[in-house]
Amino acid sequence: MSRVITIGAAQLGPIQKAESRAQVVARMLVLMHQAKAKGCGLIVFPELALTTFFPRWYSEDQDEIDAWFEETLPGPETEPLFAAARELGMAFHLGYAEKIVEEGTLRRFNTAVLVDAGGEIVAKYRKVHLPGHDEYDPERAHQHLEKRYFEVGNLGFPVWRALGGIVGMCICNDRRWPETYRVMGLQGVELVLLGYNTPSTNSQSDEAPHLRAFHNLLSMQAGAYQNSTWVVGVAKAGNEDGHELMGGSAIIAPTGEIVAQCRTLGDELVVADCDL
């Protein structure tokens, strides 16, 4: 039986600090309609897709910080994405900042969900490998405060039976560690979805941008090949408030080969037929 799903990797260009969620969602809806026109059954958006990469900004004002988080999903500003999924009959993957009360405790996570073609959340993952630091660092050209603003994900690396296959998720820095893919591979994963927001330069090292782009693809291609799984890695890219994010969004086959890759640093859709 054929199990081919046409997948769109929906890279987002920069989202400036001043941009509203409504502006970003409008851009995402354009990409969803483009994906539908190309026959996609799934569209994959990046990590923290609804806002600028806010961990680069230091704040001690919890209300200011919480403005970047979603307390409900869908909420008033994100409901149009879910409505579009139902209208177009297309699933989507979304990264966002999650604020939630669990067992009486307020928690904040860097989270991704898989939403099916009926507009229902069918899977949730919370980022485990949080990079960066938790206090202001004057030695850095820009801050990377994920350890300040998020807790370590508490859901592990599960897989789900969805979209006619076995699907897993991870987020950004998770992609760099072989165990991420291996834990899902041991559960039979066939498709790994991940978003990232990765700076083109690292103020803590002298790594060249081309080397960082190489490592980005190397880690995803190795994970795909070593676990015989499709990997769809989707970036937020370009110059956000003066800070460069790498692109390189790619759809990678179980052979480790790149079958589709974004060429720009803006909003861009690339599509591939993925045979599970």
Residue numbers annotated as active site: 47, 127, 172
How far is it, in rounded angstroms, from Cα 152 to Cα 38? 37
Helical spans, DSSP H, in the chain: 21-37, 62-66, 79-88, 146-149, 178-185, 209-227
Spatial neighbors of 59 by CB under 8 A, at least 6 apart, are 65
Identify residue 1 by its one-letter amino acid code: M
Spatial neighbors of 1 by CB under 8 A, at least 6 apart, are none
Q: Is 271 exposed, middle or buried (0-12, 13-18, 19+ CB in 10 A)?
A: buried
Q: How large is the greatest C-alpha to C-alpha distance in the chain, in angstroms?
A: 58
Ramachandran angles phi, psi of 38, nearest 5°: -100, 10
